[in-house]
Chains A and B, each alone.
Chain A
Amino acid sequence: MAHRETFYEVMRQHGITRRSFLKFCSLTAAGLGMGPEFAMKIAHALETKPRTPVIWLHGLECTCCTESFIRSGHPLASDVILSMISLDYDDTLMAAAGHQAEELLEQTIEKYDGNYILAVEGNPPLNEDGMYCIQGGQPFVEKLRHMADHCKAIIAWGSCASWGCVQAARPNPTRATPVHKVIRNKPIVKVPGCPPIAEVMTGVITYMIAFDALPELDRQGRPKMFYSQRLHDKCYRRPHFDAGQFVERFDDEGARKGYCLYKVGCKGPTTYNACSTLEWNDGLSWPVKSGHGCLGCAEDDFWDKGSFYSAVTNMKVMGSAEADADKVGKVLAGAAAIGVAAHAAASVVSHMSDKSRKEVRHD
């Protein structure tokens, strides 16, 4: 086989200096929470390993993942990574279009069968044989299956690919379906968030191409290095939570003092993401820092979990009735109390009537 170029060679061809390359490696190591010695490991891997192509598909989605990605806090990181991956196929970013573009897919399969990474943004709708998302005259779900068959591993970008997100919210008319429910025979790395944080995306993809391995995943298939803790575990407002100091309304004294946002619906205590540590836009801010609760965008079905302004969810309990589980509970407990009172009264009455009739002596 002909010489397969390394990542490093590709980057140099794209005008990235060695100095920038090394900076990129240390930034990435730091972003992944690894020690400085890993910078050199990453550099070494990128210098010596043949380049792993990345195919980036788009199903039903809003492109917020791509938008987040290309706005990575470190322009260097996105430059470097884009130069590494946009070579192959990404219908939003690549220069090619039309048949020419679709041909690239077949060429990749031919050249790198079983050796490329498939990054999927969005998800396939399955109703009507997938007709709700057509690309190049073909349902997206077929394109996805075809490309998945020949890939090495899949990255499910964002909450759409990972969980379904807004297009899969009830009643989900197109039956939009997350990737892991369609593709079952390939390893899948879920990178949820709507969108995911840019540094998380660049970190995951660099890890996978540099080390030629999946990052360590949690029980639900998310990389542990970014998704092993809830926002609440690292939130800078947590001392106010523990103290019992809450924003009760968005315009109250507590809001001005930066109290905890739990009572106005913050989902930080139930959301696994890196917002409270990495923050957004190069560490500029994140929702809680700007005074609004977390919506829980990185969690499964976050659109269907009741109000964004209540931290206790109300959800479909039975059939189609929307009911607050907590209210159901209160009604049940209340009904039990009333039932008990009524039964007690009936007992007294029946006891007295028994007595007056002298029918039974032994109650």
Chain B
Amino acid sequence: MFFYSFNTHTKLPVYKCTDKTYAPNMKNDVLEDNDVIQDYSYLIDEIANNQNKQAFIKLFKHFAPRIKTFIKKTGLSLNEAEDLAQETMITVWNKAKLFKKDKSAASTWIFAIARNKRIDHLRKQKHPIPHTEDLLNESDLNINNHDLIIEKEQMFTYIKSEISKLPLEQAIVLKKSFFEGMSHIQISKDLSIPLGTVKSRIRLALTSIRKKMKGLH
């Protein structure tokens, strides 16, 4: 069962990802500049279906500064950070049709594009990404159907709040991995802690987040 109730101060109605009808006045609401939680998936759909530049501007305002800060944090220059943030957002526009809101939240999708842009920028060859078609071909298709019904945007908001509650020592390891480009071996050297400790912190953090994700259905 899905117990998490969506934040009540959102302007948007809660809907299932399979529901294609939206409140008629939603477009104005969602494109208005305000601080309420946005349904970013809806904005990506607007780009995919209607080439909606207003929707793009909304996404840009939220994501571009964060992507730039992220790239800067990883040690690249201000110019590189600016360029990669812009490139990421242009990719969001170009690939909007490939976004699957039943698979991930908009934030997860967009930040993954940003991460891959950073990795590709540092390397000669592109970062390999699992081709999910393989999984569909090979798996017994026993994927829990509830997975597809859960609203991924709500899941993201919930998981984000849970991640902020992780023990500091676990959060530090995750941040070093994502923001400082350190492998678990480098983290162990950087923090002068045994490799086994780094591994168990990673395992504890990911297991508890994964449990939370599973607990939603």
The answer to whether A binds B is no
CB within 8 Å of B: which residues of A?
none
